[in-house]
Structure 1
């Protein structure tokens, strides 16, 4: 009797599996649209974007559903998403970017007005996967997007608005003015200029993504109500997760209500996150960090970064330099190891790249950075908190911060005047070695330093703390190593001090 029951059970399970397989491969049931039934080969040799686009159009024409990409390698140019579509990449499925000479990518759209933003932020249709003015769109599954022959140019920094490679497929995923977006579980390798670029989007969820690329990993530009969670982003020569608020929509538009949580960012050589070798890349312009800006015409408001790890990359950067606001930002529960250039960088500059008639000085206020543990921090610069003359940072709190620096700085470095950022590009290494190895603060109204601890692997002969033009300096529990004969701090134009539990800071 038991044997008959087991046989019946196995038969039922087999029947269910057969039915499910038929459902997945069906082309007209309104739920699953298998791209192979629309002519996709999946052999990695023939261009398949035409077949995939046919499947997407058929699915959208029936009101939406899932476009199913089974295991295989699909050589593709531009794939055009539609509303109410879930592009599902099954395990073993790879969308492979075609080389530029294939002419398989859509032409970049026209940009009628002056481009005050980098070229990579100006054009979208020339991407591997793109969509505009869509709603209820998702890319999911355990498959991979491999940029393959996509363009991956060198940096276009320093304010060149024509930067970026136009017409050759320079972004893996680009979505503009879309709502209710979900990208989950997929892996992106060699993602071009941006692995994921979201511009002017609302209600966005990016979850459980693995990105191993050479340029920016995730750029969130002029977006609202965005959640980035449980993602691993490796970007050895650019930023890993980068909120922005550029002028790409021909107006300043804020990025707000953003949460980045439970993520890992790193600066290993491209591909070595995925293969497990984790080979540290040489630090260049920027690598592997979480950075707000530099594109910041609209600014940032109500943003939280929590429970993240940084490894072999630059530290956290909050940069407002194009006239927008940066306010109500919380960064908490962060660990960093082997950090290049600086551990924390908060700055207000006046690059003000945008129309002269509408661009004004920005503001930075209400920033809380807490529970940060850093080891192996670069000797180039400690924490930098800098406003601009006449435009101070406001209400900045650092709490429960522990940084172990490499040290080795000289007295001569500690005595050099440190240049103002002004209209310069906001990267600490461009200004040279900082005169403070631990924390440099300038042009701030309301600076609160609570439970701060610095140590050095090698003796550093620069001051641990330099504060200039700071009104309202509160310090409680601040520890640094004492170095005989060295000046541990420098204050200039510091008013309204409240210092407790930091005997080395008590003026004699």
Structure 2
């Protein structure tokens, strides 16, 4: 609960934030806020203490086992090396413990099986390199020549289907331990999941993909073949330390800790092709002094899946003094930190964030994140969508720069990925005709060897089969208005012409008709998908403070998104400044356009690859009704309705799921108890949307928010919606509507506009409660005023950048000649054009080169050839800042020149 307390430190922060606001041209806080009124509520949130184990606790070098003494050979046969390394570990284990040593050298290996009480030390210039598997089905349908062996065969996991393959099977990893304790991997060496082939092209051996799923839960975790796809996998382990090592291109997971207790990660560099570090249903964890680079997936991610086969929430996690970044994979370890790849595989910008979710079956509690720097990444992400709670979260004293998604994203959803016992006794992962029509893999067989999870509640299933197109260029599916819902007869017992729900009978160990719960035929649609999660997911008690955020993608505001029946509760955002690039308007929030161009990139020696850049809506996550224009049919015409944002409660919870929102700074919906203390919202290029939109928000204090707004645009819009429905029932015909509104708001001097939504959300099927609902498509008279192929690209979304310019060193008396170059995504060919492969290279057209500040004595810059010439007059270190200008927002790059 809230308490009336504020520290002297927080009072001092007020003046610092006010000064920053003045520097950005923002108004000062409201004069009415007296010292007494400024005593903002705070949350008494317990701080995480983390692990109790570290390197000093497990360090034991009294008995050393050199892998070369057991037959391992640098550049040698990986099958023999695997035997040798595992033999050394086994010898140490049988001797009661010790340390296995990897000396300088490049040792290829398959699965290394860690043992309790045994440490592994990788010395400086020592490399454990992933060996190529003989059976290798690589993503991209490429194959490679094997080296005589394969990784351990994926194990059996009866709870397959309840989470993705990567969180279910672990044995096919480079380092693997299950049910072990007192393990440490440390040293100054490298774990490398990749290699350079004979042409100098980087090849990822540890795959970012997973083997194909098996058919049955009792099968091992593949259907045809398998391969290595994780660097380090730890399952139900205890007392684990990773210290000092470097990991390069670690596959789907560089590190995954599943159901692990008491773990410390310190002083690591993880520079990888997908997830860097997954903390999944694990407890008592400390992560410190480390850099996690993961452009294509998350950097430090807390999950709470069922992969360990136990219901175990993630809790007591302490993350401090770390960097998370989304530079090109492999470029951080080399020090280059290049930025050639613009979006991740999911078409959103570089990922690389600290995140809770998406797998949230078991919940999260008591996590503290402090002094973390986000660089070229998505923002801080909290997701509770599977029926459990997310509580007691603190994030403080952090910075974010070049943010490619919502700087802060809090989402409650109702995906309900939660185990539920079915009628069936079959072992198939996707059993047909059972208690779920959607996501049947979450249904467990009714057998003694499985844990029991009887049905607790239900939700509808929708027939999303109607294909529509707004512009004739792109198409997508929405709920069929004529046949919107599906009925699941497996959840309804028909007796004497009447329908009854089932109940679990402990004595018979099966479901039996519940004769006390008769269901009318019209209400049968509510019982299509069963879950054992009795309650909706929830988020509460979150404090985020002392955060400076710069260079944010204008499409994604801070997003606080609860459910109409499970609101986000008790959130404080304190001492936060956010600078967006801006440049959008309510038109984009209305139309939800799909614009794209092609882009060619290469990461740290990998082969050139083409990717599509979405400039507005990203259809990888935004689906179905979320792609419809936000308009309403009124009095025989279409009118803009940008504040009528669909709920999308069961979709994958990425910030881009809701498309372009009608606020540039903060969008908060279904929130109870919100304090924004000393929050500054700003943009570089004028954004014509309101700074803040509040929809179904109560007990909110925004008195010390400063927000830049365009002329004539109010700072805050509050929404009253007369057409809301309960969670999951949004598209059920004849489901009663009710009204949500904003209550008990303290806005100080912020300008306010009140908006009323008086039509159902686009895509809602018509019924007797609102008979004239139409899909906004050309067949119903709706069309864009400007054709998609002619619509201008919003240039503040994807920015030009410099091709790699490294720091320079030269001798006194030498002359440095340095030519810089840049690339401009806006020059790419649009995806709507018929033959994009002809011209897909986005060059530097439209860019003006220059320098900022004074050049060193003896230096000159020619803008036409964009070449620096420098003949230094004295030894020392010099800095030159180059600029790229596309007449939107200049881009800069500083190069250090050392003269010796």
Same fold (TM over 0.5): yes
Query: For residues 14-163 of structure 1, what are the structure 2 equivalents within 5 Å?
Result: 31-47=63-79, 48-101=81-134, 102-148=148-194, 150-153=205-208
> Paired residue for 2:710?
483
> Paired residue for 1:375?
550
The structure richer in strand per residue is: 1
Residue 30 of structure 1: how far off its partner (Å)? 6.1
State whether structure 2 residue 456 is matched by structure 1 residue 423: no
Cα deviation per residue 1:364-404 (whole Å; 9 max; x = unaligned)?
Answer: 10011111111100011110001011110110111111000
State whether structure 2 residue 676 is matched by structure 1 residue 449: yes
| Contact 2:404–2:552 (Cα < 8 Å) also in 1 | yes
Change in 2 beyond 3 A, CA 1:377/1:478: same
Once residues 84 and 354 of structure 1 are traced to their aligned partners in structure 2, the CA distance between those partners, rounded to angstroms, is 35
Q: 1:394 aligns with which of 569, 577, 581?
A: 569
Q: 1:239 aligns with which of 282, 285, 298?
A: 298
The higher relative CO (CA closer than 8 Å, separation ≥ 6) is in 2
Q: 2:343 aligns with which of 283, 292, 301?
A: 283
Cα deviation per residue 1:169-205 (whole Å; 9 max; x = unaligned)?
Answer: 1100000011110000000000011000001111100
| Contact 2:398–2:548 (Cα < 8 Å) also in 1 | yes
Residue 506 of structure 1: how far off its partner (Å)? 9.3
Secondary structure in 1 aligned to 2:751?
helix
TM-score by length of 2: 0.51
| Contact 2:93–2:116 (Cα < 8 Å) also in 1 | yes
Residue 96 of structure 1: how far off its partner (Å)? 0.3
Name the stretch that deviates more: 117-126 or 284-293. Answer: 284-293
State whether structure 2 residue 259 is matched by structure 1 residue 200: yes
| Contact 2:717–2:753 (Cα < 8 Å) also in 1 | no
State whether structure 2 residue 216 is matched by structure 1 residue 184: no
Secondary structure in 2 aligned to 1:380?
coil
| Contact 2:665–2:691 (Cα < 8 Å) also in 1 | yes
Once residues 84 and 419 of structure 1 are traced to their aligned partners in structure 2, the CA distance between those partners, rounded to angstroms, is 53
- Could you say what the CA RMSD is over the residues aligned between the two structures, in angstroms? 2.1
Once residues 471 and 308 of structure 1 are traced to their aligned partners in structure 2, the CA distance between those partners, rounded to angstroms, is 31
Secondary structure in 2 aligned to 1:51?
helix
Once residues 256 and 166 of structure 1 are traced to their aligned partners in structure 2, the CA distance between those partners, rounded to angstroms, is 36
Q: 1:433 aligns with which of 660, 664, 667?
A: 660
| Contact 1:348–1:362 (Cα < 8 Å) also in 2 | yes
| Contact 1:56–1:81 (Cα < 8 Å) also in 2 | yes
Once residues 46 and 108 of structure 1 are traced to their aligned partners in structure 2, the CA distance between those partners, rounded to angstroms, is 19
State whether structure 2 residue 730 is matched by structure 1 residue 499: no
State whether structure 2 residue 409 is matched by structure 1 residue 345: yes
State whether structure 2 residue 603 is matched by structure 1 residue 355: no
Query: For residues 234-383 of structure 1, what are the structure 2 equivalents within 5 Å?
Result: 234-280=293-339, 281-284=341-344, 285=346, 287-356=351-420, 357=455, 358-360=532-534, 361-383=536-558
Structure 1 unaligned segments of length 5 or more: list them: 1-28
> Paired residue for 2:286?
227
Change in 2 beyond 3 A, CA 1:410/1:164: farther
